[in-house]
Structure 1
Amino acid sequence: MNTQAEATTSVLDVVKQVLSVVFVAAGVAAFYYFSDVQLLYRVLGLVGIVIIVLGIMLTTDMGRNVWGFVLESKQEVRKVVWPTREETMRTTLLVFAMVFIVGLILWLLDMFLFWGVRLLTGQGG
């Protein structure tokens, strides 16, 4: 028997999420409404609103889950074995060579097909 845990969101979390969307929409609207104000102040105001919205969202269950995911992702990135400079250069040159070879093959195929079609339709010289 399969039992699935249903994720229940509280009313307060839903209210916070709706308010976050309203704040961002109001911030963007204010950014364009106050077009006569200097751009620096409008950008700073919009950045301030986004920071406030992020703070509000981090107090919800969804925000805490996203933050936990970000922290776990940082730990996983530290575990990655990155290639050396030599391996990166070798792989990059191999990709360039393969792209060139495939491009050449496709160009030759296109040229011969075009020649064949012109010959079959009587447009060839």
Structure 2
Amino acid sequence: MATTQVETVSSGADKARLAGAAVLVLGALAGFYLLSRQGALVQWGVLVLGLIAAAGIFFTAETGKQLIAFGRDSWKEVKKVVWPTRKESIQMTAYVIAFCAIMALFLWLTDKTLEWALYDLILGWKK
């Protein structure tokens, strides 16, 4: 018997938190533009405080908690990665550059050969 993962539907409180966070973001943006006569300090203060409050509310909702859990899991996976040494990185970069140069030369030679064969031999359009 196969097991399936069941996700619960977010509650009304979670939906209200998300809606409140969205309203705070919109209010912060509106305040930023509406308070332009008050000076840059007031504008940016309203925007930053509104966004911080919205983030705080968002991270208390289930969606925000899932985002935090995802971030933690991602960080754990990044720690497991074996990164190449400086020498390996330089070698691989040199291989890629050499391959690109050889491929460019090959494509140029192919283009010139086809140009010579088509225009000079077949069509007789000598330059």
Equivalent residue letter for 2:50: I
- Among all aligned residue pairs of Structure 1 and Structure 2, give the percentage whose two residues are the same amino acid: 35
Which protein shows a greater Rg? 2
* CA deviation after TM superposition for structure 1 residue 66, in Å: 0.9
Q: 1:4 to 1:81 in 2, by over 3 A?
A: closer
Cα distance in 2 for residues equivalent to 1:21 and 1:121 = 68
Structure 1 position 121, deviation (Å): 5.6
Supply the distance in 2 between the matched residues of 1:89 and 1:99 (Cα, whole angstroms).
15
TM-score, scaled to structure 1: 0.77
Q: Distance in 1 between matches of 2:96 and 2:55?
A: 41
Match of 1:97 in 2: 98
Instruction: Find the residue that maps to 2:111 and give its secondary structure.
Output: helix
How big is the shift at 1:31? 2.9
Structure 2 unaligned runs (5+)? Answer: none
C-alpha distance 65-106 of structure 1, shift in aligned 2 (>3 A)? same
- The change in CA–CA distance for 1:83 and 1:32 in structure 2 (over 3 A counts) is same
Matched, 1:75 2:76: yes
Shift of 1:44: 4.4
Report whether the alignment pairs 1:20 with 2:21: yes
Cα-Cα RMSD: 2.6
Q: Structure 1: which 5+ residue stretches go unaligned? A: none
Letter in 2 for 1:47: V
Give 1:11 deviation, angstroms: 0.8
Larger displacement relative to structure 2 (63-72 or 102-111)? 102-111
